[in-house]
Amino acid sequence: MSDRVVLAYSGGLDTSVAIGWIGEATGAEVIAVAVDVGQGGEDLETVRQRALDCGAVEAYVADARDEFASEYCMPALKANGLYMDSYPLVSAVSRPVIVKHLVKAAKQFGATTVAHGCTGKGNDQVRFEVGIQTLGPELKCIAPVRDLALTREKAITYAENNNLPIATTKKNPFSIDQNVWGRAVETGFLEDIWNAPTKDVYDYTDDPTFPPAADEVVITFEQGVPVALDGKPVTPLQAIQELNRRAGAQGVGRIDIVEDRLVGIKSREIYEAPGAMALIAAHKELENVTIEREQARFKKTVGQRWTELVYDGQWFSPLKKSLDVFIEDTQKYVNGDIRMELHAGRATVTGRRSSTGLYDFNLATYDEGDSFDQSNARGFIELFGMSSKVASRREQGLAEG
């Protein structure tokens, strides 16, 4: 039997051409693997058939939407994962689940190599290959665009010469990656960082300049996970999808950032993540109510490191697994409701309630019913400032001497 290569297949021009290109360059048979992480677009059965028509010997389709939402997006939510305080890891969290299915298919179909469509300038090549090396250390990796010099011009010529069933005449000016957690847009005129995004950049969100009437939503969480919207039970996938719709209609979740890539270059990225950004805002506020102060302070440090690891393609690393344990432990009391107003590009928290919260009205109030003993404050301040006071006395004494 010929060697086999599993290809991460999107159904687009580059990966369709890569099927024959890999075969000619390596002599191997190609198994195309398409993973549905909520990216929308074409029906995956259509994508599967196209892979076969382009020369794949097998085409494997995985519906990973619920798996992706529950096992990948929810950990990102619990960590409040925002790279550079802005980017909710849209592409970064999808790569590990795709890798999982690529390695599974390689073992199922007896492949020795896994291929992906990344270039040599981006983060995804690292995310794919580090993940593949971790889950399938016996597998080799190739990247046709990077390793076999498959340019877009060559891809178009190859598709036309071989009568492949893929459109080759229209060139989208942008490079787009999307899933249920959000949408990433780059290249084209956006590479001039002075240029403002035009309306055609966006798809998940409507223009917040002329919003509809404000939309109020109540999000119910259990142990850090959304379980209901406006009292109606939802799965994680349903929660993200519904908030993509409602927050997206208000223009929530538009992000324009110059981002530090893992490979050492800066890149201008446009993101749309209405559901993700609304959920993270709600989750962070519920944590403010339910997590003890010192634990909350340290969780910010852990969450930032967790985010960096995931961004850098280290989803399966020992450190990330250890941080998972800490983050999961912090979520046991993150239960309750957050009321948000979605309007004009903003997701604003207007109410919170929790049966496991640490907010004590009688301690916080300045009105009748105050149970806080204010006489304790003087001694507390004296002790709290003692070290600074002693150090200051030393400095003054040395200065005078």
pLDDT tens profile 336-394: 999 999 999 999 999 999 999 999 988 888 887 788 888 888 999 999 999 999 999 99
Is 388 annotated to bind ligand?
A: no
What are the C-alpha distances in Å from 200 to residues 174, 189, 197, 331, 381?
A: 10, 12, 8, 39, 57
256 is catalytic: no
Token readout for 250 is 């208000």
pLDDT, tens digit, 9 for 90 and up, residues 233-287: 999 999 999 999 999 999 999 999 999 999 899 999 999 999 999 999 999 999 9
Per-residue confidence (pLDDT) for residue 171, from 0 to 100: 59
Is 311 annotated to bind ligand?
A: no
Q: What mean pLDDT value characterizes the chain?
A: 93
Percent of the chain with pLDDT over 90: 77
Determine how β-strand 254-260 pairs with β-strand 232-233. unpaired
Percent of the chain with pLDDT over 70: 98
Q: What is the CATH number of domain 176-291+333-353?
A: 3.90.1260.10
378 is catalytic: no
Q: Which of 175, 322, 371, 392 is catalytic?
A: 175
pTM here? Answer: 0.93
Per-residue confidence (pLDDT) for residue 249, from 0 to 100: 98
355 is catalytic: no
373 is catalytic: no
Is 330 annotated to bind ligand?
A: no
- Domain extents in the chain: 4-171, 176-291+333-353, 368-400
Is 87 annotated to bind ligand?
A: yes
The answer to whether residue 170 scores a pLDDT higher than 70 is no
The Cα 125–Cα 118 span in angstroms is 5
Q: What is the CATH number of domain 4-171?
A: 3.40.50.620
At 167, is the pLDDT very low, low, confident or very high (cuts 50, 70, 90)? low
